[in-house]
Structure 1
Amino acid sequence: MPPPTCLLHEVANATVDYVICGGGTAGLALAARLTEDPSISVTVLEAGPPNLEDPKILIPGQFGATFSDPKYDWCFSTVPQKDSNDRVFDWPRGKCLGGSSAINFCAWTKPPAQDIDAIEKLGNPGWNWSEYIKYSMKSETFREASEDQMSIYPHTYDKDYRGMSGPIQTTVPHLAHTVDEVFQRTLVNKGVKAIRDPYGGDITGTWIAAATLDRTSWTRSYAATAYYLPNRKRTNLKVLTSATVARLIWRNAPAGETLTATGVDFIYEGQSYSIHVRKEVILSAGAIKSPQILELSGTLNAGAGIGTTPALSRIGVDQKIDLPVGENVQEHVFLGVSYELSPDRYHETLDSLRDPEFAARQRELYKELKGLYRLGITSLSYLPLSFYSPTSADQIIEEVHRRILDYKNAASLPPGRLEQLDVQLNALRDGTVPDVEFIGFPGYFTPITKPETGKNYITVLIVSTHPFSRGTIHASSPDPLEQPEIDPCYLEDDHDLQILAEAVKFVRSLTDIEPWKSGTVREINPGPSCTTDEEIHEYIKSTQASCWHTVGSCSMLPRDKGGVVDPDLKASVYGTSNVRVVDLSIIPLHVASHTYGMCHHQFRIACP
């Protein structure tokens, strides 16, 4: 196993140009980019272990195998969600080199162009589709499907939308092609547009996605393999693992003056240490930890906490800069509608892996680069409300409009929120921007009942894309090792619930369309006893789960519109001279995409 690039004594009390807090996708991408200049010194502090060459990470097809294991996962959880039957939700996040890219489901998607352009419209010049796609394509090397794959399931793509020389390897994974055929053909027969290539800004339709897999080895391609391992021998790059960032160190300054970070305090094997910077401290600790670090950065030095007065006073931290840190949190949720597949056709689904003997045979096949462990979750469809619920869309849109007018009349929203809601309303009205993602998952994936041995299932996962509900993430105590308090406020805005409920009805309508009609036997969950709107709503509240796509907790917006970091493509924290945030916490309005494809664009905003 390749060792970390440095030991504690090389970092403690050292002085470097840049300290990067967090060794996930954005942090490692940035470290690789900065250290291309040998005169620039960079140290990355990562809270988790290296976990390099770990089969649990590298071998695909083990979806969720690392969740709730503290060797890989932060094991975050939310506070009880009052609009989801007081349930507490697990929020897995990667705690190792590579961050969440080491434990995600390897989905490689990109948002619609309108979603990226919306970020610019909110006051972020340069955050538009043409810039995003240019940098995003630089991050990937795409390998097309093999002839064998094409012979059983045709796959189309446009080379103008795929990167061919970047560090992240993407490809068409092994497909559960019979299940994909049922899902994709049914949607097309329902009137959904088949997308030739979803990576050029138009994702509204149905399509097969790529996955972040290295086709030569059929292993996960993630931040550690793409950005760390190829550059680990650079003498100007040091990475210390098992080092938890506690707080930023500030140079003493009179009240009201700009704060300058001189270094970072971190915890290693239970002891506190410091590292000092000449140029910048860059937070890439993720949408959960980055706000916590900012809020706690005043606990030991001159009362220099950054955040809102209520959040800081609650944990006994004096406020130095008043910013809405930890606010505007947005998160995708999903739920499943599951069906038993007809036994008249052989299906290769993940259900078979519940059989230990079958799973063992598949692991042996994997050694020959064959078998089910190369499977990806790639059969996707993104649809607007006006398509999947034409009878209810106008009513829901009008209700959203009236709600926004009420907010305007009452002036009861935080700064900048109305502008966000107006963007979301316009997207609903537009009819071309997708409001829900539908995933054809090749297996059983609903929590109410248990699958039967020997049977195969398809679960249509319904994913929110532009939630109206807003939550918070705040430090729960002055102790940096304590979990922050996460309150996503799921379904607080009842329009989120209505949009999901209409999606459930749409999935159920597929049973009248071939090949779904003859290819499935029965609906398992929610089941035939769930028929009324109230029962569907209860099913959603009882079964929805997080997608772990959190954004917004350090939003990039004008300061008077609720911004934490500035919009000039540097993402500097307001009121500081040399602190930046480069992870997904800066995205101010959610996008219709799995978020891994957003992380690689971040490095451009933090490079000098």
Structure 2
Amino acid sequence: MFQDFETFCQLPLHYIIVGGGTAGLAVAARLSEDPEVNVGVIEAGPSALNGEDGGAITVPGRYGETIGSKYDWQFETTPQPGIGGRSLKWPRGRVLGGTSALNFMAWNRGHREDYDAWARLGNKGWGWDDLLPYFRRSETFHQPSAAHQQYYHSSYDDEFNGTSGPLHTTHIKQYGPAHQYWHTALNELGAASSPDSLAGSNCGVWNMVCTINPHRQERSYSASAYYAPVAGRRNLHVLTNATVLNVLIEMTNGEWNATGVRVRYGDEEKDIKTIREVILSAGSIQSPQLLELSGIGQRKVLEAAGIDVKIDNSNIGENLQDHMMTATIFEVSPTLSSRDDILNDTILREAADRAYYASQTGPWTVLPCSVAYCPLAQVASSTEQAQLQITAQNIAQETGRLQDELLGEQFDSTKKVRGQLEYIFDLGNWSTYFKSEPGKKYGTLLQMLQYPFSRGSIHIPAQQDPSRKSSVDDKPIIDPRYYQGPGEIDRDVMALGQRMAKRISQTEPLAKIIQKRVFPPLPEDLASEQSVYEDFVSNYTVTDWHPVGTCAMGGREGAKAGVVDDRLRVYGVRGLRVIDASIMPLQVGAHIQATVYAIAEKGAAMIREDWS
């Protein structure tokens, strides 16, 4: 239940969860199943469960409207030399439900080998077989009808889908007009249709499952799925519009202990104590930020920010990994309609609203779901793949990191094939860099790199005034280092991937609706084609909004390589855990939402085991 500030401060809380987002509310729901404990959640943003979002969150087809709004932290990266000196906007949810309230509702899992790599690093219990029960525990998958399966290619495998979890997942009711050509075109290119992308291998072509409640045709996210059904629990307490300033770290009997948090609510600041643990679920940006503000982090970073050093750990805020994305734009048949038409035409928008609210049908129920994950062998020649493998091996040798050695396996043709590049096709102009011409219709082919060598960091800023300390109000410095250092190999792979994008657009039957490529324009001759692609990738890559790794599990190297152990406990301090995307030691080949929920489910189960 929601609490006022004064009441919340007086509660005897066994667990304080910082961040009522994707992971935080899932952890809170599971921990509060034990009626003997009190669970407190502190969220900086408001709740939108009362309908104040006006449908911007709940109506599926209105995805993207909340980006840049009051529900978004509106973070931004530093200028990135690897992408032409551009700074990129990094949206993150500032609302109950976190980024699960802002995202595109994509629901897929990485490859079995992605999670097995975590276990190979020494993180016991984090392989595919270990995580599968938690993937299934988080969802109720709604099976498509036989007619839907036949008409839309919506296949699934019962063994890998959950049937009684809080989140609703489903194949959407109807698809955009280009979807009918997608499977056949990709099949022609050698990408087989996947029987179930959630079964441990998502290579091939398939339809994205989405986090939608099919009965209500509404977004299913952590606030509506994990919190709302149990909001009446007397031992679950939620404080919204409150900002955690830092974790209280105190020395007791020669050990550092997390004893609570410092919170600001309006103009008031108070310390709130915990009986057992503080759990950071603030995400890949703000979990490392809060650790540093609490005195846990790199000595040089903390001292420059005016923060007293309590635990010196050079890994906090490092190991940042993100998926990178380009958007190739095509002019398509003028008879086709897209979401752009609705957004730019008041009459069409009113008609879409009427259809949705009257019968939960129409354009607001349609999402971009035409997906393919292609291995490098489909994109590059054997010679190019061999050269990339040599480059990757050299990177691993230079860095001495097992993570880089494992990443290099994607280039080894003798290893299990994984989808290195994701492609999604949808009608409409999805690029922020290409301006649509009036009267013309467009389609967009998105291309996303799945296993980046690019490694960045997130840290609190240094202070020029020695009398001032950095605070939570100082936005963290986000430096993904796209295509820099070892990440130069990522640019090479993305440029090669543009050839596959060209082949997709020229393959029937998809080709029959595409008139020409307009961004980037076709090169004048084949000799300059690769140069055009390299320039395009360098100048127009953007984030795919999947940052991970900044509080990574350390595996067998412990605090030398990570921030938390395989029980998600922060090294060097008792009573403090991190449970969110930041604990992932390596990126996965998938949209990360489903993995974050699995992390939350497993993290909550471990806490209950540890205190049982």
TM-score range, shorter chain: over 0.9
Distance in 2 separating the partners of 1:444 and 1:148: 31
Matched AA of 2:270: Y
How many Å separate the matches in 2 of 1:128 and 1:224? 28
Shift of residue 571, structure 1, vs aligned partner: 0.4
Deviation at 1:536, TM superposition (A): 1.7
Alpha carbons 1:107, 1:377 under 8 Å: kept? no
Shift of 1:529: 4.0
For residues 101-500 of structure 1, the aligned pairs below 5 Å read 101-146=100-145, 149-150=148-149, 152-253=151-252, 257-297=254-294, 305-323=295-313, 324-343=315-334, 347-353=336-342, 354-367=344-357, 368-391=359-382, 392-405=384-397, 407=398, 413=399, 418-429=401-412, 430=415, 432-476=417-461, 478-492=470-484, 493-500=487-494
Contact 1:182 1:519 in 2 (8 A): no
Identity %: 34
Specify the code of the residue in structure 1 equivalent to 2:292.
E
Indicate yes or no: 2:520 matched with 1:521.
no
Quick check: 2:559–2:571 contact (8 Å CA) kept in 1?
A: no
Counterparts of 1:526 and 1:484 in 2: how far apart (Å)? 33
Q: How does 1:589-600 map to 2 (within 5 A)?
A: 589-600=586-597
Structure 1 residues 351 and 398 mapped into 2: Cα distance closer, same or farther (>3 Å)?
same
Q: Deviations over 1:262-287 (max 9, x none)?
A: 11001111321221011000000001
Change (3 A) 1:182 1:453: farther
Report the secondary structure of 2:531's partner residue.
helix
Residue 16 of structure 2 contacts residue 39 of structure 2 at CA under 8 Å; is this kept in 1?
Answer: yes
Give secondary structure in 1 for the equivalent of 2:401.
Answer: helix
- Aligned-pair CA distance for 1:443: 2.0
Take 1:104 and 1:515, find their aligned partners in 2: how far apart are those partners?
30
Measured at CA, do residues 285 and 560 of structure 1 come closer, stay the same or move farther in structure 2, by a change above 3 Å? closer
Q: TM-score, normalised by structure 2?
A: 0.92
Aligned-pair distance for 1:51?
Answer: 1.4
Offset of residue 597 of structure 1: 0.3
The residue type equivalent to 2:34 in the other structure is D
Counterpart CA distance in 2 for 1:173 and 1:402 is 44
**Residue matched to 2:465:** none
Match of 1:45 in 2: 42
Distance 2:35 2:43 in 1: 22
Q: Distance in 2 between matches of 1:81 and 1:227?
A: 37
In 2, the alpha carbon distance for the partners of 1:267 and 1:447 equals 36
Equivalent residue pairs, number: 582
Deviations 1:445-503 (A, max 9, x none): 12333223454332110101111010000112521122111001111121010010011
Residues 27, 603 of structure 2: 8 Å contact kept: no
Q: Measure, in 2, the Cα distance between the counterparts of 1:421 and 1:36.
A: 40
Output the CA distance in 2 between the equivalents of 1:532 and 1:156.
37
The whole-number CA distance in structure 2 between the counterparts of 1:99 and 1:262 is 25
Give 2:554's aligned residue.
557
- Tell me how far 1:566 sits from its aligned partner: 0.6
For the structure 1 residues 464 and 393, does the alpha-carbon distance in structure 2 shift closer, same or farther, using more than 3 Å as the test? Answer: same
Output the CA distance in 2 between the equivalents of 1:469 and 1:46: 31
Cα distance between partner residues in 1 of 2:244 and 2:417: 43
CA distance in structure 2 between the partners assigned to 1:482 and 1:228 by the alignment? 30
Report the Cα distance in structure 2 between the residues aligned to 1:318 and 1:112, rounded to whole angstroms. 42
Amino acid in structure 2 at the alignment position of 1:356? T
Distance (Å, rounded) in 2 between the aligned partners of 1:403 and 1:221: 41
Q: Which amino acid aligns with 1:427?
A: Q
Q: What is the CA RMSD across the aligned residues, in angstroms?
A: 1.7
2:41–2:237 Cα contact (<8 Å) kept: yes
TM-score relative to the length of structure 1: 0.92
Distance 1:33 1:449 in 2: 45
Could you list the runs of 5+ residues in structure 2 that have no partner in the other structure?
463-469
CA contact (8 A) 2:332 2:513 kept: yes
Counterpart CA distance in 2 for 1:63 and 1:481 is 28
- Give the match's secondary structure for 2:533: helix
Does structure 2 conserve the Cα–Cα contact (< 8 Å) formed by 1:329 and 1:488? yes
Secondary structure (helix, strand or coil) at the match of 1:163 reads coil
Q: CA deviation at 1:215?
A: 0.5
- Code of the residue aligned with 1:589 in structure 2: it is L
Deviation (angstroms), 1:390: 2.2
Letter of the 2:306 counterpart? G
Q: Which runs of 5+ in 1 are unaligned?
A: 298-304, 408-412
What is the aligned partner in structure 1 of residue 66 from structure 2?
66
What is the alpha-carbon distance in structure 2 between the residues aligned to residue 158 and residue 282 of structure 1?
Answer: 35
Give the SS at the match of 2:569.
coil
1:41 and 1:438 map into 2 onto residues whose CA distance is 45
Q: Which residue of 2 aligns with 1:605?
A: 603
State the 1:184 CA deviation. Answer: 2.2
Residues 525-561 of structure 1: per-residue CA shift (max 9 Å, x gap): 1112474333322211221111111111001113254
Are residues 1:510 and 2:504 paired? yes
Instruction: Report the CA distance between 1:382 and its aligned residue.
Output: 0.8
Q: How much does 1:328 deviate? A: 0.5
Query: For residue 267 of structure 1, what is the amino acid of its counterpart?
Result: R
Tell me the distance in 1 between the aligned counterparts of 2:559 and 2:246.
26
- 1:29 is paired with a residue of what secondary structure? helix
Q: Hey, what's the Cα distance between the residues in 1 that align with 2:182 and 2:433?
A: 23
Aligned-partner Cα distance in 2 for 1:180–1:455: 20
Q: Against the structure 1 CA distance between its residues 525 and 281, is the aligned structure 2 distance closer, same or farther, given a 3 Å change threshold?
A: same
> Aligned AA for 1:320?
K
- Note if contact 1:448-1:525 (Cα within 8 Å) is conserved in structure 2: no
For the Cα contact (< 8 Å) 2:178–2:510, is it kept in 1? no
Partner Cα separation in structure 1 for residue 296 and residue 596 of structure 2: 24
